[in-house]
Structure 1
Amino acid sequence: MKHEPKAVFDRLATTYQSDIDQTSPYNALYERPAMMAALPNCLEGKRVLDAGCSAGWYASQLTDLGAVVTGIDVSPEMVNAAEERVGGATFLCHDLKEELPLLDHTFDIIISSLTLHYVEEWTPTFSEFRRILKPNGTLIFSVHHPFMDFTKFESTNYFDTTLLTDTWEKPSITVDVSFYRRPMQQIIHDTTQFFRLESLIEPQPLEEMKETHERAYQYLNTHPHFLIVKARTSL
């Protein structure tokens, strides 16, 4: 089984640029509102790293709120899309598995939306995140909920970290996407090696989803689908 997120997300860049904001209730009415609610109330002047910036939705929102944003993505096509969308942020094409080309203690906040499940080993990535965050800096990330992946896909051992593949049917493309499912205890262990855990969030959808996507609304109100982790560096 090949795991090539760069190639896959190069192919998905146009879809993310034009379709995801409007057509995906899991993004617009579920994950994104919960992630934004987890951020500090005042972002004016805060330096934020958008780790796995995709086509720039978070970078756009954070820039509008006064943050100084740097976005990183492994896909050059996603970076191009983000640069077209957001004029006031800096974007880099870089793999989060590698050492980051950023200075120590530079950022107040790192936000990473639905990205880290494409990374097999979190230790090098989290070590770099801790290095570039300021003291008492905030890390907020979302991933697939391990319960969702374990029940949706054929998995024989919940406690294994397993490479899974899903078929995404988007308005303009159908593509196979691979990612890693890891148990909850591994998510917590890898996080607390480097950060102080502040909260775990199992989000629920906005009420307005009921009017436009009732089936998804009922499912997300009774089944965990994504998981949000909020943590901090030491003082």
Structure 2
Amino acid sequence: MKQNIYDDIDFFESYGKMPRSFDGLNSAGEWHVLKNMLPDFKGKSVLDLGCGYGWHCIYAKEQAAESVVGIDLSQKMIDKAKENSKNLSIDYYQMPVEDIDFKDEQFDVVFSSLTFHYIENLETVFSKINRFLKKGGSFVFSMEHPVFTSRAQQDWSTNEEGSRLHWPVDNYQDEGIRQTNFLGHKVIKYHRTLASIINTVIDSGFSIQQISEPKPSEEIIEKYAEMKDELRRPIFIMISALK
């Protein structure tokens, strides 16, 4: 299901108030780990799937990537990415990730940040990515962790005073659609077990190099006190693989 919630005006405005939106990668709790999972971008051709505000495209170009292509379903996201990188040579295209179509072995690196939990058929997308990557190319992505996506509620269990008791996990083995609530809007996501995610990478022809379930850095926690609870459960799963 190709859901374009980010072009909803109210949703987009709410998203824009998140730290990672207005402050970039330095306020993304996982970035201090994710950047170390990325390959050397110098002289490489890079594809970013679900590029959002363009922060990762900008980073790749700043790291001397030869060419960078950003894809996003949301026109508002594409417009914002172009605005953020107006002095850089980056090509942006508005299209669903499921519809990407490039030349065989066109890219050295394919990257995606927090997009694949919106995709129904990962098998098809990962197979396309493998075809678009050069032999020895890198595939690095992050997505919401199965511990986070198992329940549609995606929220803490609290006591009567509202204090957070624990993060509940339920229906973990029941893969499929989750009708969630994000930034006050109904959003469709797809839950998969950790094994399913990992095996889809392997079955698509990739060799996994590293897996991370990152926790926020001390600097991020000092900057945003509410991030301290992110130490209590994983919110993201990140995988680095080679073709």
Task: Please tell me the TM-score bracket, short chain as reference.
Answer: 0.7 to 0.9
Any conservation in 2 of the 1:17–1:81 contact (CA below 8 Å)?
no
Number of residue pairs aligned between Structure 1 and Structure 2: 223
What's 1:30 paired with?
29
The correspondence of residues 44-193 of structure 1 with structure 2, limited to 5 A, is: 44-67=42-65, 68-87=67-86, 88-98=89-99, 100-150=100-150, 153=154, 157-169=171-183, 174-193=184-203
Tell me which moved more, 146-155 or 158-167. 146-155
Distance 1:167 1:27 in 2: 26
Any conservation in 2 of the 1:119–1:179 contact (CA below 8 Å)?
yes
CA RMSD of the aligned region, Å? 2.5
C-alpha distance after superposition, 1:200-227 (max 9, x if no partner): 101111111232333422x222311111
Letter in 1 for 2:177: L
Distance 2:212 2:111 in 1: 14
Letter in 1 for 2:224: H
TM-superposed deviation, 1:157: 2.8
TM-superposed deviation, 1:165: 3.0
TM-superposed deviation, 1:28: 1.9
What's 1:211 paired with?
222
Tell me which moved more, 179-188 or 206-215. 206-215
Could you state the TM-score of these two structures normalised by the residue count of structure 1?
Answer: 0.85
Letter in 2 for 1:84: E
Could you state the TM-score of these two structures normalised by the residue count of structure 2?
Answer: 0.82
Distance 2:46 2:71 in 1: 11
TM-superposed deviation, 1:112: 0.3
Residue 227 (structure 1) aligned with residue 237 (structure 2)? yes
TM-superposed deviation, 1:59: 1.0
Q: SS in structure 2 opposite 1:30? A: coil
Change in Cα spacing, 1:22 to 1:74, as seen in structure 2 (3 Å) is closer
Q: SS in structure 2 opposite 1:104? A: coil
Q: SS in structure 2 opposite 1:223? A: coil
Any conservation in 1 of the 2:21–2:53 contact (CA below 8 Å)?
no
C-alpha distance after superposition, 1:48-80 (max 9, x if no partner): 101110121111111111112100111122112
Distance 1:116 1:140 in 2: 12
Q: What is the percentage of aligned positions where both structures have the same residue?
A: 28
Any conservation in 1 of the 2:147–2:169 contact (CA below 8 Å)?
no
Consecutive unaligned residues of structure 2, counting only runs of 5 or more, are: 155-167
Distance 2:230 2:32 in 1: 14
